[in-house]
Amino acid sequence: MTTPNPYEKIVFPNGCRLLFVPILGVESMATAVMVGVGSRYETTKINGISHFLEHMVFKGTQMYPTTDDVNFIERLGGLQNAYTDIDVTCYHNKVLGEDWQAGLEINKELALHPRLEEKYVDKERDVIIEEMKKYEDEPAAKVGETFHQMLYPNTRLGMKIIGEEQSLRDSNAQTLQTYHDTWYQPERMVIILAGKIDDAVKAKAKQVVDAWFGTLQPKKTGDMEQVTDDQKTPNVVFVTKKDAKQAHMNVGLRIFNRSSEDRFAWNVFNLLFGVSFTSRLFKEIREKKGLCYTIRSSSDTFDDVGYWSIYAGVATDKVGEATAGIMKELQKVKQEGVTEEEVIIAIKRLKTMLAFRAEDPEFATEWYGRQELYHLPMLSLTEYMKRIEMVTKDDINMLIKKYFVTETLNLAVVWNRPEDKSLVELLNI
């Protein structure tokens, strides 16, 4: 677990932030550079460029000019990776504590000094298009993407992280460089070190981060497009894939934004209702009715809006029955609420899950880094657990009545059949 002072924060004059998260008893160090930019900061013309850029930086940087040079972390025995999300891009790795500076330096290079050479653009574009096809061939991924898009049509939030093929083909090295110059600004950057940290590491890290990031000159960036929820009737969207052997469905509704105080009680509810073997959905839809192999619920929240959804993979001819079964469970919990026993068990499960993850420095970079990047009140794991322990069944039952609204129900289906709009009649809680 973390020390009594679980993190230390330093803000440099240009807005760049540095977090230290010491973890007792570990020999490893996770380093990360998070940048507050992703697909919702793009336009349709350059959709996918955040992800494209994240790929391209691994082709070489000023200090490490080739892919082989960039991959030196693996030769140290470390793990190096990056990801692009809707509103964050993250360069991260995990190394032995003694190699922390090398780990941080390569993340600095990837974030600040990519070469972005034209000779690699076409090749990497083709790689991403193959990645795009891979997701198209995975119905479980496709239905999640479809569900997200149907909630936020004609908005930047609703665009694909991976982009569209045409927007990728229209991008070149100059497009990538312009995007990098525009959005990779110091006030949008959070640098995190988590793991084996002592005073000597802190002193050296402050020095190098100040030299590497603290001297960056900030430039004004544009504002993020704000999204509002105004859905008035339930909605159904279908994707027909003739070779699909199974129907994949996401059904869900609109909830709160990521800073809402409702998130604590909702996390407990989500766990008891739709996560793992003891959840209501698993017991009722899989075990009792035998309608699916996989069923689970989860939330996605953003600065302005959010949603909660249930995924299930079912036999194609059982979609109607599965939808009706899920609606019945939603109706039941809305009418009868949750039980004291369910809440107690869910809180203990959630605390246990977090306790396990707290021992992983990479989890710590995500936990603290995202809170800082999103300008949320910083909660340590201990503080978060205290908030969870305060959740009561009455808190959860109140939220269920607040957010279980028929008008905001949505269903996305990926299967081998044409549209069946009659399914919308089943969406009722």
Tell me the DSSP string of 32-56.
Answer: EEEES--GGGS-GGGTTHHHHHHHH
Helices vs strands, H then E, count in the chain: 16, 11
Side chain identity, residue 124:
E
* DSSP 8-class letter at 303: S
Whole-number Å distance between alpha carbons of 113 and 63: 8
pLDDT digits (tens, 9 = 90+) for 223-282: 889 999 999 999 999 999 998 999 999 999 999 999 999 999 999 999 999 999 999 999
Token pair 């402050």 is found at 206
Say how far residue 173 (Cα) sits from the centre of its chain.
Answer: 27
Q: Both tokens of residue 172?
A: 């070149």
Structural element, H or E, at residue 190? strand 189-195
> What is the Cα 281 distance to its own chain's centre?
23
Report which residue type is found at 135: Y
Map tokens 């996605």 to a residue. 300
| Homologous superfamily, domain 235-426 | Metalloenzyme, LuxS/M16 peptidase-like (3.30.830.10)
Domain range annotation of the chain: 8-212, 235-426
Q: What is the pTM of this model?
A: 0.94
* Beta bridge pairs of residue 96: 28
Residues 305-354 pLDDT 10s: 999 999 999 999 999 999 999 999 999 999 999 999 999 999 999 999 99
**Could you report the per-residue pLDDT of 99-149, keeping only the tens digit for each?**
999 999 999 999 999 999 999 999 999 999 999 999 999 999 999 999 999
* pLDDT tens, residue by residue, 349-369: 999 999 999 999 999 999 999
CA distance 205 to 200: 8
pLDDT of the residue at 5: 63
Element spanning 18, H or E: strand 17-22
Report the pLDDT averaged over residues 76-90.
97
The tokens for 92 are: 């991260």
For 270-420, where are the E strands, in sequence order?
A: 292-301, 306-314, 410-415
- All residues at 6 or more sequence positions from 78 whose CB lies less than 8 Å from its CB, including other chains: 93, 94, 95, 96, 99, 103
Return the ∠ at Cα 363 (arms to 17 and 53), rounded to 5°: 60
The class (CATH top level) of 8-212 is alpha beta
Confidence grade of residue 160 (pLDDT, cut at 50, 70, 90): very high
Question: 239: which strand partners?
Answer: 414
User: Beta partners for 237?
Assistant: 412
369 vs 35: CA distance, rounded Å: 10
- Domains 8-212 and 235-426 alike in fold: yes
Q: CB-based contacts of 407: which residues, under 8 Å, 6+ apart? A: 231, 232, 233, 234
37 pLDDT above the threshold of 70: yes
- Mean pLDDT rounded to a whole number for the chain: 96
* Alpha carbon 371 to its chain's center: 13
pLDDT-based confidence at residue 222 (cuts at 50, 70, 90): confident
Contacts of the segment 171-176: beta carbons below 8 A, 24+ positions apart? 171/46, 171/48, 171/49, 171/52, 171/121, 171/125, 172/118, 172/121, 173/116, 173/117, 173/118, 173/121, 175/46, 175/49, 176/49, 176/52, 176/53, 176/56, 176/116, 176/121
Q: Cβ-count burial of 158 within 10 angstroms (0-12 exposed, 13-18 middle, 19+ buried)?
A: middle
Predicted local confidence at residue 220, as pLDDT: 86
The answer to whether residue 2 scores a pLDDT higher than 50 is no
CB 237 within 8 A of CB 230: no
Short-list 54, 19, 30, CA closest to 183: 54
> How far apart are the C-alpha atoms of 182 and 173, rounded to whole Å?
14
Per-residue confidence (pLDDT) for residue 33, from 0 to 100 = 98
Confidence of residue 3 (pLDDT cuts 50, 70, 90): very low
Task: Evaluate whether 255 touches 409 at the Cβ level (below 8 Å).
Answer: no
Question: Around 349, how many Cα atoms within 13 Å sit in the side-chain half-sphere?
Answer: 19
- Ramachandran region of residue 276, left (φ > 0), alpha (ψ -120 to 50) or beta? left
First-residue to last-residue Cα distance in the chain: 42
- Strand, helix or coil for residue 276: coil
C-alpha to C-alpha distances, 47 to 4, 172, 197, nearest whole angstrom: 43, 13, 39
Strand-pairing partners, residue 32, are 92, 192
Q: Is the pLDDT of residue 29 over 80?
A: yes
Is it the case that residue 1 has pLDDT exceeding 50? no
pLDDT score of 221: 84
What DSSP string describes 58-110?
GG-BSSS-SHHHHTHHHHTT-EEEEEE-SS-EEEEEEEEGGGHHHHHHHHHHH
- Mean pLDDT computed over 18-28: 96
Q: How far is CA 73 from CA 31, 56, 99, 201, 378, in A?
A: 12, 17, 9, 19, 30
